Chain A
Amino acid sequence: MNPYWGKDFFEFFAVLFRRLTGQLPLDQLTTDEVQMVVLMGVALSTVLLGTFLTLKKMTMMANSLSHTTLLGIVIAYLIFFAPENDLMIGPGMLLVGAVVSAALTTLLTELARDLLKLQEDAAIGLVFTTLFALGIILVTVFTRNSHLGVEVITGNVDALHFEDIKLVWSAAALNLILIGLFFRQWVLTAFDEKLSFSLGLPTKTFHYLLMFLTALTLIAAFRAVGVILVLSFLVGPTLIARQWTHRLSSLLFLGIGLGLFTAVIGVALSRHFLSVYHLPLSTGGLVVTLISILCILSLTFRHSQGLMRD
Chain B
Amino acid sequence: MTPLLDFFSDPILRPSTLGCMLMCFASALVGVVVFLRKRSLIGETLSHASFPGVVIGVFVSALLMPFSDELISLAILCGAFLFAFLGLKTLSFLENKARVKADSALCFVLASFFGLGILIASRLQQTYPLWYKQALSFLYGQAATMTNMHILLYGCFSLVILGFILYFYRYLEAVNFDPSFSETLGIQSKRLDEIMFFLIVLAIVIGIRSVGVVLMAGMLIGPAVTARPLTNRLSYHFALAGAFGVASGFLGNYLSVVIPNEDYSLPTGPMILMVSSLFCFLSLLLAPRSGLITRFLRMRQFSFRCSLENALKSLWKGERKVFSPLILWKLKQHKWIDPQGTLTPLGKATAENIIRLHRLWEVYLVDYMGQKVEKVHRTAEELEHLLSPELEKELTELLHNPRHDPHHQPIPPANLEAP
What residues of chain A have their CB less than 8 Å away from a CB belonging to chain B?
A: 54, 57-60, 62-63, 67, 112, 115-119, 121-122, 124-126, 129-130, 132-134, 136-137, 140-141, 144, 146, 149-150, 153-154, 226, 228-229, 231-232, 234-236, 238-239, 242-243, 279-282, 284-289, 291-292, 295, 299, 303, 308-309
Cβ-defined contact, A116 with B292, below 8 A = yes
* Residue among A59, A122, A232 making CB contact with B103, cutoff 8 Å: A59
7 sampled A-B residue pairs with Cβ under 8 A: A63-B110, A116-B285, A137-B266, A137-B270, A141-B264, A154-B122, A288-B114
> How would residues 264 to 304 of chain B score, 1 for a CB under 8 Å from any chain A CB and 0 otherwise?
11110111011001001000110000101000000000000
Cβ-defined contact, B218 with A284, below 8 A = no
Cβ-defined contact, B39 with A121, below 8 A = yes
Cβ-defined contact, B41 with A121, below 8 A = yes
Q: Which residue of A lies closest to B270 (CB)?
A: A133
Contacts of B274 in A (CB 8 A): 130, 133-134, 137
Contacts of A149 in B (CB 8 A): 139-140, 267
Cβ-defined contact, B112 with A291, below 8 A = yes
Once bound together, how far apart are the Cα atoms of A309 and B101, in whole Å? 13
Contacts of B270 in A (CB 8 A): 132-134, 136-137
Cβ-defined contact, B107 with A231, below 8 A = yes
CB distance from B196 to the nearest CB of A (A): 14
Cβ-defined contact, A125 with B111, below 8 A = no
CB distance from A213 to the nearest CB of B (A): 17
Q: Does B335 contact A (CB under 8 A)?
A: no
* Residue among A117, A125, A238 making CB contact with B41, cutoff 8 Å: A125
Once bound together, how far apart are the Cα atoms of A110 and B125, in whole Å? 40
CB distance from B128 to the nearest CB of A (A): 12
Q: A62-B107, A236-B108, A285-B122 are in contact. Are A129 and B218 (CB under 8 A)?
A: yes
Cβ-defined contact, B271 with A137, below 8 A = yes
Q: A67-B214, A122-B40, A129-B273 are in contact. Are A60 and B114 (CB under 8 A)?
A: no
Cβ-defined contact, A118 with B273, below 8 A = no
Q: Does B99 contact A (CB under 8 A)?
A: yes
Contacts of B220 in A (CB 8 A): 125
Q: Which residue of A lies closest to B224 (CB)?
A: A122
Once bound together, how far apart are the Cα atoms of A28 and B297, in whole Å? 67
Cβ-defined contact, A228 with B266, below 8 A = no
Q: Which residue of A lies closest to B222 (CB)?
A: A126
* Residue among B108, B114, B284, B285 making CB contact with A239, cutoff 8 Å: B108
* Residue among A153, A286, A295 making CB contact with B139, cutoff 8 Å: A153
Cβ-defined contact, B40 with A121, below 8 A = yes
Contacts of B115 in A (CB 8 A): 228-229, 232, 284-285, 287-289, 292
Q: A137-B274, A234-B107 are in contact. Are A292 and B112 (CB under 8 A)?
A: yes
Q: Does B320 contact A (CB under 8 A)?
A: no
Q: Does B98 contact A (CB under 8 A)?
A: yes
Known: A58-B103, A122-B225. 14 other contacts (CB 8 A): A54-B101, A57-B101, A121-B38, A126-B277, A130-B273, A150-B139, A226-B118, A228-B114, A228-B115, A235-B104, A236-B108, A236-B111, A288-B111, A289-B112
CB distance from A107 to the nearest CB of B (A): 15
* Residue among B38, B99, B122, B215 making CB contact with A133, cutoff 8 Å: B215
Q: A59-B104, A121-B39, A121-B40 are in contact. Are A231 and B110 (CB under 8 A)?
A: yes
* Residue among B99, B106, B290 making CB contact with A309, cutoff 8 Å: B99
Once bound together, how far apart are the Cα atoms of A62 and B40, in whole Å? 16
3 residue pairs, one from A and one from B, having the closest CB atoms: A288-B115, A129-B218, A285-B119
* Residue among B40, B98, B111, B284 making CB contact with A235, cutoff 8 Å: B111
Q: Does B391 contact A (CB under 8 A)?
A: no
Once bound together, how far apart are the Cα atoms of A243 and B273, in whole Å? 39
What residues of chain B have their CB less than 8 Å away from a CB belonging to chain A?
A: 35, 38-41, 43-44, 97-104, 106-108, 110-112, 114-123, 125-126, 136, 139-140, 214-215, 217-218, 220-222, 224-225, 263-267, 269-271, 273-274, 277, 280, 284-285, 290, 292
Q: Which residue of A lies closest to B284 (CB)?
A: A116
Most buried by A among B102, B112, B117, B218: B112
Cβ-defined contact, B118 with A282, below 8 A = yes
Contacts of B121 in A (CB 8 A): 154, 282, 285
The secondary-structure label for the interface of chain B is helix
Contacts of B266 in A (CB 8 A): 137, 140-141
Q: A116-B292, A308-B97 are in contact. Are A132 and B267 (CB under 8 A)?
A: no
Cβ-defined contact, B111 with A232, below 8 A = yes
CB distance from A126 to the nearest CB of B (A): 5
CB distance from A281 to the nearest CB of B (A): 5
Cβ-defined contact, A132 with B215, below 8 A = yes
Once bound together, how far apart are the Cα atoms of A94 and B359, in whole Å? 65
CB distance from B262 to the nearest CB of A (A): 10
Most buried by B among A134, A137, A229, A234: A137
Contacts of A132 in B (CB 8 A): 214-215, 270
Q: Which residue of B lies closest to A116 (CB)?
A: B284
Contacts of B221 in A (CB 8 A): 122, 125-126, 129
Contacts of A281 in B (CB 8 A): 119, 122-123
Q: A116-B292, A234-B107, A236-B112 are in contact. Are A153 and B118 (CB under 8 A)?
A: yes
* Residue among B39, B118, B120, B264 making CB contact with A140, cutoff 8 Å: B264
Contacts of A58 in B (CB 8 A): 103
Cβ-defined contact, B218 with A288, below 8 A = no
Contacts of A118 in B (CB 8 A): 225, 284
Most buried by B among A129, A132, A149: A129
Contacts of A292 in B (CB 8 A): 112, 115-116
Q: Which residue of A lies closest to B226 (CB)?
A: A126
Once bound together, how far apart are the Cα atoms of A308 and B93, in whole Å? 13
Cβ-defined contact, B40 with A63, below 8 A = no
Contacts of B120 in A (CB 8 A): 285
Contacts of A60 in B (CB 8 A): 41, 103, 106-107
CB distance from A120 to the nearest CB of B (A): 8
Cβ-defined contact, B140 with A136, below 8 A = yes
Once bound together, how far apart are the Cα atoms of A133 and B140, in whole Å? 9
Cβ-defined contact, B125 with A239, below 8 A = no
Q: A122-B225, A288-B111 are in contact. Are A280 and B122 (CB under 8 A)?
A: yes
Cβ-defined contact, A280 with B126, below 8 A = yes
Once bound together, how far apart are the Cα atoms of A119 and B214, in whole Å? 22
Contacts of B139 in A (CB 8 A): 149-150, 153
Cβ-defined contact, A125 with B114, below 8 A = no
Contacts of B290 in A (CB 8 A): 117
* Residue among A116, A146, A286 making CB contact with B119, cutoff 8 Å: A286
Cβ-defined contact, A125 with B273, below 8 A = no
Contacts of B217 in A (CB 8 A): 125, 129
Q: A229-B115, A232-B111 are in contact. Are A126 and B122 (CB under 8 A)?
A: no
